[in-house]
């Protein structure tokens, strides 16, 4: 795990989450002659990440504004 986090500049939690997802979904990936089920909802998977990005963008804008105010003092 440490080697992967260093080599690819990823957080260990992200690698663990990917591993868990792969382990849970691997039977579907390796079934021959069957198509992937349509139950995979990409929007539902993206939603938490988009929310986090939005929150971080708001926080960044707030911090930039406060930094400018502090520089004026």
Q: Residue 30 has which token pair?
A: 């390796």
Q: Residue 4 has which token pair?
A: 């992967």
Query: Residue 73's pLDDT band (boundaries 50, 70, 90)?
Result: confident
**Measured distance CA(14)–CA(47) in Å, rounded:** 16
**Measured distance CA(20)–CA(15) in Å, rounded:** 9
Residue 2 has pLDDT above 70, yes or no: yes
Query: pTM here?
Result: 0.45
Enumerate the domain spans of the chain: 1-31, 41-73
Q: Residue 55 CB: number of other CB atoms within 10 A?
A: 10
Per-residue pLDDT reduced to its tens digit, 10-69: 899 998 988 988 888 877 777 766 665 566 778 888 999 999 999 999 999 999 999 999
**Measured distance CA(72)–CA(30) in Å, rounded:** 61
């Amino acid at each position: 795990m440490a080697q992967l986090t260093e080599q690819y500049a990823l957080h260990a939690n992200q690698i663990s989450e990917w591993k868990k997802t792969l382990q849970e979904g691997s039977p579907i990936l390796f079934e021959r002659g069957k198509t992937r089920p349509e139950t995979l909802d990409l929007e539902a998977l993206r939603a938490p990440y988009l929310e986090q990005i939005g929150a971080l963008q708001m926080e960044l804008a707030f911090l930039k504004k406060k930094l400018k105010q502090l520089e004026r003092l």
